[in-house]
Chains A and B, each alone.
Chain A
Amino acid sequence: MMTDLQKALIDFCLRIADNSLIHAQRISEWTGHGPILEEDIAMSNVALDLIGQSRGFYTYAAQIDGDGKTEDFYAFRRGEREFRNKLMVEQPDNKDFGFTMMKLFLNGCFDYLMFRDLMKSTDETISGLAAKSIKEVTYHVRHAGDWVVRLGDGTEESHQRIQNSLNELWPYTNELFEQDSVDALLISNGIAFDKEKFRDEWTKMVYEIFAKATLSVPENNTYSPTGGLKGIHSEHLGYLLAEMQYLPRTYPDAVW
């Protein structure tokens, strides 16, 4: 019989893992289509980092669950209502490199601060996964941040396009900081930490880059899409999963 704390820990792991996996799937759509060879490889590297992070958290969730589940079960045998990723990462990139970089930057800054806190988790598996992940995320933030600056402070067209990406993605950043009873239980046990506490730091981090990039954050934004914590998603996730899960669902026992 699972305790409430174990259930919460599984949910917590799935939220992180789902977010990284869906983000990775979106980024991997660039493989073979990057604007230049070097960026094509860079984005594939980032996607693989994120898949690696999701595998770590899925494997830990499966281990706590103890019901014979595997990382593949979580990735390939669940429907969209069971996925707990934030809505931002599932948004389609539409072959706009700046949009991909902006998304990687906004989410990366959040992940960086989250993993930095989780390295102090009383749960040794969580702190270990966080310590491994933060090195990767540090690089993602630098890579994406560099591009946000260069596109923002680049040509008239690159500026306008990356500004449009920021306008489109900004409303989704509110959801990054959402928490519920799962978080509260883990926070009270020293396993997780209050995300609200690094919100100011996150804001400072992204504003610093936007200043260098000559970008402005949309003012008076009242639109704030949400639903990831409850598995309520935008229309885009179903299509993404259909493609990602096609093979294991069509050939359930396929092996390499």
Chain B
Amino acid sequence: MESNHQWPTWEVFTQKKQGAPHEHAGSVHAPDGEIALLNARDVYSRRQEGVNIWVVPSDAIIASSPEDAGAFFDPANDKMYRSPNFFKTADGLKQI
């Protein structure tokens, strides 16, 4: 038995309302997916935060590393034309 007796961690994504994107809420420990789902429900939806939950094994997530930041994100700095800021929009439209 490994010295770390913690159960694996699972990342929790909750959906605020139908059609909305699932957003990262936090993580839970659990021995398997079903228990992870229940734990996520108990920890992250007690105050009506969501209508749907995803749980994903934390080690299934491939993340970029801080060292990648320069190469990954800086090149977008001077490319304003990628943002849809220059379109005329209807009055009262909050977002496009």
Which residue on A lies nearest to B45, using beta carbons? A45
Q: Tell me the B residues contacting A by CB distance below 8 Å.
A: 7, 28-32, 34-35, 38-39, 41-43, 46
Q: Which residue of B has the minimal Cβ distance to A147?
A: B35
* Centre residue among B32, B34, B42, B46 by max chain A CB count within 10 A: B42
Of B7, B31, B34, B42, the contact of A42 (CB 8 Å cutoff): B42
Number of interface residues of A (CB under 8 A): 12
B32 contacts across to A, CB distance below 8 A = 150
Are A38 and B31 interface neighbours, CB within 8 A? no
Complexed CA–CA distance, A50 and B96 (Å): 45
A–B pairs, 19, beta carbons within 8 Å: A36-B7, A36-B29, A38-B29, A38-B39, A38-B42, A38-B43, A39-B39, A42-B38, A42-B39, A42-B42, A45-B42, A139-B41, A142-B38, A143-B38, A146-B34, A146-B35, A146-B38, A150-B31, A150-B32
Chain A residues near B46 (CB-CB < 8 A)? 41, 45
| Interface residue SS majority, chain A | helix
Complex: how many Å from CA A36 to CA B38?
A: 13
Report A56 CB to chain B, min CB distance, Å.
19
Residue numbers in B under 8 Å from A139 (CB-CB): 41
The answer for the CA separation of A38 and B27 in the assembled complex, in Å, is 10
C-alpha gap A36/B29 in the complex (Å): 8
Contact present for A150 and B42 (CB under 8 Å): no
CA–CA, A39 and B35, complex, Å: 10
Q: Provide the A115-144 mask, 1 if CB < 8 A to any CB of B, else 0.
A: 000000000000000000000000100110
- The complex places the Cα of A38 from the Cα of B42 at a distance, in Å, of 7
In Å, the complex CA distance between A139 and B31 comes to 19
- CB contacts (< 8 Å) of B39 on chain A: these are 38-39, 42
